[in-house]
Structure 1
Amino acid sequence: MPDVPESLPYWIAGAIALFWFVGAYNRLMRLRSAALQAYAVLDVALVRQLDFVQARVAEEVPPATPHESPGASLRAAANQLSTLLAATRLRPLNPTGMAAMSTAMHVMLVAWQRLHPDAVVSFDADGTLSRPATLEGHLEGTEVSAPIAWPEPSAAAEMARGQFNVAVAQYNAAIAEFPAVLVAWIMQLKRAAALR
């Protein structure tokens, strides 16, 4: 019987470590891809809300100067959100960009609610009209965002936001787990931010 090389256990251990690394990396990439796909759906829903707001602002009768218009702050907030949406599309999981977009979105929604207090509809993440309920499928220990009152009477934006936030929470939870945290560190995968 031929002699077994002394390095065989090291080769076996190396092969197991390599297969584990590839498997963990693939899992993280699947979760990251799911978060990116959820952002694409969210982006479409936010653009639709933004188009609705900009169309309503364009219908207003323009005053003598643009700064006298009650919709001037809404127009400025919508333009800022439009710019940040374009910038966030390049790196949708960047926490800084998502925080800036979240702030701009809330500024636009507040400006909209000031001008049209009766023209807002709030939905839960499952598409039903807002009521005290939890988001099904959320991870234990993660907070669920309060429903947002949207200008366009459609549940699409809130459902897309809920799906994106759940995908981000799953991705962040996977990165924080012990063995996968090594893969995330080696591959420089960073935590993502949800849209609050």
Structure 2
Amino acid sequence: MGALIFGLLLAVTLFWAVGAHNRLVRLRAEVVRQWSSVDAVWIRLLVRMQGGIAARQSLMMDAGADELQPLQMACDELLEALSQARLQPLDGESQKQVVTQHLKVLAEIRLMLQTPNDAVKPDLDIALNRMRQTLPAALIPYHVAVAAYNDALAMRPASWLAGRLNFKPAMRMDLSMGAA
């Protein structure tokens, strides 16, 4: 009788562990899927902005073309950070690097908007407004997925299983102040 009870408890524990593991893997996959949507929005905005920068540089053959170079470099660095985050979407350091590079791009755009060169101001103002409108909207489903995943990691006894499987919490992103 004791062996039957022990076997039943072992089977229940095994089924629970498999179910908890599958739930954690599914939630983690949803975070990665939502990150890919955010990444696609960022890439689309950066490609559009870099195309505008390249067009302006080809039109401005004088010394004014050099003033767009820091913005071009900031965009390139953000693209590199995004490619690193694409390889490891749940890595906190790569996510922090994306936020840092994003803030550098915003700073360069704001700096360019303060220059006397009126030729690029309308395009940069449009790019800044697009970033302000589309990125926060794209981050909402990502934040919902991150919250669900992190809540599942914190629940007991699934937190014990998550610790044994080396599942780390995902990072929520706050683009206005950096990484949260």
- Which category describes the TM-score, using the shorter chain as reference length? 0.7 to 0.9
Residues 131-170 of structure 1, C-alpha deviations (whole Å, 9 max, x = no match): xxxxxxxxxxxxxxxxxx8453784432211211221122
Residue of structure 2 equivalent to 1:77:
74
- Contact kept, 8 Å, 2:78 with 2:101, in 1: the verdict is yes
Q: Which runs of 5+ in 2 are unaligned?
A: 114-120, 175-180
Cα offset, 1:51, TM superposition: 0.7
Residue of structure 2 equivalent to 1:172:
150
Could you say which structure has the higher helix fraction? 2
Cα offset, 1:181, TM superposition: 0.6
Q: Which runs of 5+ in 1 are unaligned?
A: 122-148
CA 101–187 in structure 1, closer or farther in 2 if over 3 Å, else same: same
Residue of structure 1 equivalent to 2:103:
106
Give me the whole-angstrom Cα distance separating, in 1, the residues matched to 2:164 and 2:31: 20
Q: Which residue of 143, 160, 167 maps to 2:138?
A: 160
> Is 2:159 the counterpart of 1:181?
yes
- Contact kept, 8 Å, 1:109 with 1:151, in 2: the verdict is no
Q: Normalised by the size of structure 1, how large is the TM-score?
A: 0.74
Give me the whole-angstrom Cα distance separating, in 1, the residues matched to 2:145 and 2:73: 31
Where 1:190 maps in the other structure, the secondary structure is coil
Residue of structure 2 equivalent to 1:142:
none
Identity of aligned residues (%): 28
Q: Normalised by the size of structure 2, how large is the TM-score?
A: 0.81
CA 11–54 in structure 1, closer or farther in 2 if over 3 Å, else same: same
Where 1:104 maps in the other structure, the secondary structure is helix
Give me the whole-angstrom Cα distance separating, in 2, the residues matched to 1:54 and 1:47: 10
Where 2:130 maps in the other structure, the secondary structure is coil
Give me the whole-angstrom Cα distance separating, in 2, the residues matched to 1:62 and 1:37: 43
Residue of structure 2 equivalent to 1:31:
27
Following TM superposition, the consecutive aligned residue runs of length 4 or more in structure 1 with deviations greater than 6 angstroms are none
Which is bigger in relative contact order (C-alpha 8 A, separation at least 6)?
A: 2
Give me the whole-angstrom Cα distance separating, in 2, the residues matched to 1:153 and 1:73: 18
2:161 partner amino acid: V
**Most deviating of 55-64 and 158-167:** 55-64
Residue of structure 1 equivalent to 2:170:
192
